[in-house]
């Protein structure tokens, strides 16, 4: 597979780089960002944290706004940030911020016209890690994290594939998408009207049924204007109580849905993942 380096910036002794490649899963060209800590330049294969961004975002939001490079460099953890959806003139889209490009919701779409390109679940789970592990000095030791729509994606990936991830965390995740406007709109379009198909992409429904636990950390701002209507962390808490899942969910007074919130607590999340990524 051919990949093209689009940019390179040295940061805290490591390198932040952007690449593009053609995705067989998504049938289009995709872009991703990677932060390689200094340890990766010394012949060491480092573990990887995959970051999934939220609605309207690209690979750039986290890398430029979260302030994660310093701690990642100190810990020796690579960070991969894919785009949030397929892109290109041939890719189906909608004149809305919460459906179409920028709003892939990390599902495998089954409905036309979305099914040709919108298979972000398979892309993040399989194709992208295979590419990263083949081309870069990283190991197959992985964790996953994300924000909002990306927090939903991270939780779903870890809950459905506990053997693939050492840990999972999320900021302000869409915790119960089958019961919120964002989720209902996206799932109806991408998956159809059979709501039984939606459950496989709902973190709360998955968590209440699972018996295989991946260490999980969630942070939620109490001043988040999407809290009650869209995010529903109480559904995730109830699911964890039902299954006995060891979920750590922290609420923070005064914090909103922005990257100011993420930047305030990203170092705690990286330290959390390091406990599991670096234990082997």
Q: Is the pLDDT of residue 96 over 90?
A: yes
Task: Give the span between the Cα atoms of 277 and 109, in whole angstroms.
Answer: 31
pTM (2 d.p.): 0.97
Task: Give the span between the Cα atoms of 6 and 63, in whole angstroms.
Answer: 15
- Do the Cβ atoms of 117 and 92 come closer than 8 Å? yes
| pLDDT tens sequence across 126-151 | 999 999 999 999 999 999 999 999 99
By three-state DSSP, how is residue 210 classified?
coil
Measure the CA angle with vertex 73, ends 152 and 262; round to 5°.
35
| pLDDT tens sequence across 217-258 | 999 999 999 999 999 999 999 999 999 999 999 999 999 999
Annotated catalytic residue 252: no
Q: Is the pLDDT of residue 280 over 70?
A: no
Catalytic residue among 117, 152, 257, 273: 257
Q: What is the CATH number of the domain that holds 263?
A: 3.40.50.1820
Query: What pLDDT shows up at residue 270?
Result: 98
Q: Is the pLDDT of residue 279 over 90?
A: no
Percent of the chain whose pLDDT exceeds 90: 97
Tell me which residue has tokens 């919108």.
Answer: 118
Q: Is the pLDDT of residue 1 over 80?
A: no
Give the mean model confidence (pLDDT) for residues 158-185: 98
| pLDDT tens sequence across 19-40 | 999 999 999 999 999 999 999 9
Catalytic residue among 11, 23, 85, 148: 148
Q: Is the pLDDT of residue 44 over 90?
A: no
Mean pLDDT of the chain: 97
Count: domains in the chain: 1
- Taking every pair of Cα atoms in the chain, the longest distance, rounded to a whole number of angstroms, is 52
Domain carrying residue 120: 3-278
Q: Could you tell me which of 101, 87, 32, 96 has the C-alpha nearest to residue 61?
A: 32
Catalytic residue among 83, 93, 219, 224: 224
Annotated catalytic residue 257: yes
Q: Is the pLDDT of residue 188 over 90?
A: yes
Annotated catalytic residue 148: yes
Query: For residue 194, what is the DSSP state?
Result: -
| pLDDT tens sequence across 59-82 | 999 999 999 999 999 999 999 999
């Amino acid at each position: 597979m051919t990949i093209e380096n689009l940019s390179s910036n040295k940061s805290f002794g490591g390198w932040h780089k952007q690449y593009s490649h053609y995705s067989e899963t998504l049938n289009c060209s995709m872009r991703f960002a990677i932060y390689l800590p200094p340890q990766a330049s010394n012949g060491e294969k480092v573990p990887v944290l995959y970051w999934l961004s939220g609605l309207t975002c690209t690979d750039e939001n986290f890398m430029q706004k979260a302030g994660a490079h310093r701690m990642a460099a100190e810990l020796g953890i690579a960070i991969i940030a894919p785009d949030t959806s397929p892109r290109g003139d041939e890719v189906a889209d909608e004149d809305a911020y919460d459906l179409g490009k920028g709003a892939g919701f990390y599902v495998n779409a089954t409905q036309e016209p979305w099914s040709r390109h919108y298979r972000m679940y398979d892309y993040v789970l399989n194709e992208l890690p295979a590419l990263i592990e083949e081309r870069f000095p990283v190991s197959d030791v992985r964790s996953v994290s994300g924000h909002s729509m990306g927090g939903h994606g991270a939780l779903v990936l870890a809950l459905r594939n506990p053997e693939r991830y050492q840990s999972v965390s999320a900021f302000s995740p869409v915790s119960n998408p089958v019961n919120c406007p964002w989720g209902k709109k996206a799932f109806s379009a991408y998956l159809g009207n059979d709501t039984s198909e939606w459950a496989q992409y709902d973190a709360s429904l998955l968590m209440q049924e699972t018996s295989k636990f991946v260490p999980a950390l969630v942070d939620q701002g109490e001043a988040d204007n999407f809290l009650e209507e869209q995010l529903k962390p109480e559904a995730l808490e109830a699911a964890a109580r039902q299954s006995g899942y060891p979920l750590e969910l922290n609420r923070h007074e005064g914090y909103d849905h922005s990257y100011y919130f993420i930047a305030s607590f990203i170092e705690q999340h990286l330290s959390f993942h390091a406990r599991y990524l670096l234990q082997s």
